[in-house]
Amino acid sequence: MRRLLWLLLPAGVLAMDLGSKAWILNLLAEGESKPVIKGFFYLTLGFNRGAIFGSLTWVPELARNLLFGLAGVAALIIIGRMFLEKGTATWDRVALGFILGGILGNSLDRYLRGAVVDFLDFVFGTWHYWAFNFADSFILVGVVLYGLRMLRAPNIESQIKEN
């Protein structure tokens, strides 16, 4: 039962991601941009039909959809299983919950729109970072948390398992 309560974490990430995308789709047209902090942070609506940073857009749409669909299902199964496993440590479960929620958000986007909605747009001096969304952010934070936990020497915290 307690493990099932953990499902609120990826569900919350998914709700935040889908809610923010619905909001931005009502606020902006594709390619439109509004400054939040001029010269640094903008809301810019874009649709990523490729993979990370827009890669693989050259792959034919049918092949790309098949590849992304299979990869998404495989990731959901593997990460979902790790997330719900009885002995998963708390910090691992938090990290995996972030990743799982982010995968669900971007996968639903691809399924419903054929592209991922991106809108968080940062500029650092003359360097312009790729636009991204909350799902991307949660996936990144989850991967970093999980990676840091994996790099740490075994200690009492990682040995305490949640029941």
Reply yes or no on whether the pLDDT at 161 is more than 90. Answer: no
Residue 97 lies in a domain: yes
Residue 106 lies in a domain: yes
Q: Annotated catalytic, 118?
A: yes
From the candidates 17, 109, 121, 136, which is the catalytic residue?
136
Q: Annotated catalytic, 17?
A: no
Residue 24 lies in a domain: yes
For residues 110-124, give the mean pLDDT.
92
What average pLDDT does the structure give for the chain?
86
CB 149 within 8 A of CB 158: yes
Residue 161 lies in a domain: no
Q: Which is more confident, 96 or 161?
A: 96
Where does the pLDDT of residue 130 fall: very low under 50, low under 70, confident under 90, or very high at 90 and above?
confident
CB 3 within 8 A of CB 84: yes
Reply yes or no on whether the pLDDT at 121 is more than 50. Answer: yes
Residue 159 lies in a domain: no
Residue 162 lies in a domain: no
pLDDT value at residue 163:
46
Give every CB contact of residue 84 below 8 A, 6+ residues apart in sequence.
3, 6
pTM of the model: 0.84
Rounded-to-integer distance, Cα 38 and Cα 95, Å: 32
From the candidates 17, 109, 118, 121, which is the catalytic residue?
118
Residue 42 lies in a domain: yes
Of the candidate ranges 10-24, 29-43, 62-76, the one whose mean pLDDT is the lowest = 62-76
Domain housing 56: 2-150
Residue 49 lies in a domain: yes
Q: How many domains is the chain built from?
A: 1
Cα radius of gyration rounded to whole Å, the chain: 17
